[in-house]
Amino acid sequence: MAVKGRQQYGRVGPRKTSSSTLVLYGLIMLSLLIVILLALGILSISSSTNASKDSPRAHDLSFISHNSAHSDDGDEESKDQWLEVISWEPRAFVFHNFLSKEECEYLISIAEPHMEKSTVVDSETGKSTDSRVRTSSGTFLARGRDKIVQRIEKRIADFTFIPVEHGEGLQILHYEVGQKYEPHYDYFMDEFNTQNGGQRIATVLMYLSDVEEGGETVFPAAKGNISAVPWWNELSQCGKEGLSIKPKMGDALLFWSMKPDATLDPSSLHGGCPVIRGNKWSSTKWMRVHEYKA
């Protein structure tokens, strides 16, 4: 019986095995097919991205990429918000219509009564000093001072991927005709200023007003063909001395003072060209490597 059973088992066994092997085989083939299809799909997606003429090349300043960017607050008209790659050396991007007209006007209105002549930070003492290189007037707004400022600071964090807590308070600046800020770095060369929050990693510069002429943000050390920007002919003489961005109400310029490898980026050298006609209002958010105790 036992032998028969074994024989039976042995006889039936191979038949069962062959049919289940067939099913297994089929399943394996099917998975293989799926894997191959997936691989092909992925390959075709990545190769089409690489081959796409929409892919920005480093140093190609004439290139403009229109990426859709959505508004974080649904209550307002998110009129034509889009991201423009300005340069990869320095890493600079313009988020168009980042702020609404109302937000720009609000920031100016709360800052205006407190405007003081601008100073620069003395790298020897870490103290603020009066300076010829910076002739604007300005004031700081405490971080999270009110609902509107909080909302803007959250939007900056979402845009930059740097937490709100790493940001210094917003600075509001006003440049009148002839006023400027000579090219400088936003990062520090001293120990004093990096004690709280460490080095400055990136800056978001928001334009709160249009400027009729001049007032460009210029990067004199940018790599690439600076005259290839579509707005080249509209730039002031100063603006033509580097890669320039024209101030436009609501636009936000993001640039990085540090490279992805966490070293300082000397190509982030930048200045504010003299205003020739009109008035320039801007707001700056400096962000640190670590949390900044406000």
Ligand X SMILES: *[C@@H]1O[C@H](CO)[C@@H](O)[C@H](O)[C@H]1NC(C)=O
Min dist. Cβ of residue 270 to ligand X (A): 21
Stretch that binds ligand X, among 17-25, 163-171, 220-228, 252-260 (CB under 6 A): 220-228
Q: Find the binder of ligand X among 24, 40, 42, 228 (CB under 6 A).
A: 228
Stretch that binds ligand X, among 84-92, 161-169, 221-229, 234-242 (CB under 6 A): 221-229
Stretch that binds ligand X, among 76-84, 146-154, 173-181, 224-232 (CB under 6 A): 224-232
Q: Find the binder of ligand X among 47, 55, 150, 227 (CB under 6 A).
A: 227
Min dist. Cβ of residue 60 to ligand X (A): 10
Beta strands in 43-197 (DSSP E): 67-68, 82-88, 91-96, 116-117, 119-121, 128-130, 137-141, 170-175, 181-184
If you search the block for the tokens 């720009």, which residue do you land on? 104
Using CA atoms, how far apart are residues 107 and 170, in angstroms rounded to an integer? Answer: 10
Looking at the Cβ atoms of 34 and 228, the one nearer to ligand X is 228
Paired tokens of 19? 């049919």
Residue 128 is a binding residue for ligand X (CB under 6 A): no
Looking at the Cβ atoms of 215 and 224, the one nearer to ligand X is 224
Residue 225 is a binding residue for ligand X (CB under 6 A): yes
Using CA atoms, how far apart are residues 172 and 159, in angstroms rounded to an integer? Answer: 19
Q: Find the binder of ligand X among 7, 8, 49, 62 (CB under 6 A).
A: 62
Min dist. Cβ of residue 219 to ligand X (A): 16
- DSSP one-letter string for 240-259: GGSEEE---TT-EEEEESB-
How many of the chain's residues bind ligand X (CB under 6 A)?
A: 4
**Helix, strand, coil shares of the chain as percentages rounded to 5?**
35, 25, 40
Return the closest-CA partner of residue 211 out of 149, 120, 275, 145.
275
Question: Which residues bind to ligand X, rule: CB under 6 A?
Answer: 62, 225, 227-228
